[in-house]
């Protein structure tokens, strides 16, 4: 892994990137397990106690979470993580810590949320 974070202190970049990767890998694992549970509930009599609309909404949200974590990990492997996909400027580290899967900086997210 040679990905770097733009616009951050060099000394903190590598450890910040490692931390963010750990968070994303954990998010991917947790969301994948959750998705498996929800799919299994969908196959149970009476949907494992879930309201059908609630189960559908949770499944949809969890799929989005799995995809977002996987996409962020892919961007890390391609050394594009931390760069806004709209303006190509560095996404501030504080935003990445708050939203590790962020694809846009805050101003661009407000224009074209994902």
Q: Does 108 bind Zn ion (CB under 5 A)?
A: yes
Q: Does 5 bind Zn ion (CB under 5 A)?
A: no
Q: Which is nearer to Zn ion, 38 or 108 (CB)?
A: 108
The piece of 2-10, 35-43, 52-60, 98-106 that touches Zn ion (CB under 5 A) is: 98-106
Q: Does 84 bind Zn ion (CB under 5 A)?
A: yes
Q: Does 109 bind Zn ion (CB under 5 A)?
A: no
3-state secondary structure the chain: CCCCCCCCCHHHHHHHHHHHHHHHHHHHHHHHHHHHHHHHHHHCHHHHHCCHHHHHHHHHHHHHHHHHHHHHHHHHHCCCCCECCCCCCECCHHHHHHCCCCCCCHHHHHHCCC
Q: Does 96 bind Zn ion (CB under 5 A)?
A: no
Contact residues: Zn ion, CB under 5 A: 84, 86-87, 105, 108
């Amino acid at each position: 892994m040679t990905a770097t974070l733009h616009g951050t202190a060099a000394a903190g970049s590598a450890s910040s990137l490692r931390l963010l990767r750990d968070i994303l890998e954990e998010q991917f694992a947790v969301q994948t397990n959750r998705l498996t549970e929800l799919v299994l509930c969908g196959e149970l009599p009476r949907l494992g106690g879930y309201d059908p609309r609630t189960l559908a909404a949770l499944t949809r949200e969890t799929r989005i979470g799995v995809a977002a974590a996987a996409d962020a990990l892919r961007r890390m492997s391609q050394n594009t993580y931390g760069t806004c996909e709209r303006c190509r400027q560095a996404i501030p580290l504080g935003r990445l810590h708050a939203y590790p899967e962020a694809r846009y900086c805050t101003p661009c997210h407000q224009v074209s949320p994902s």
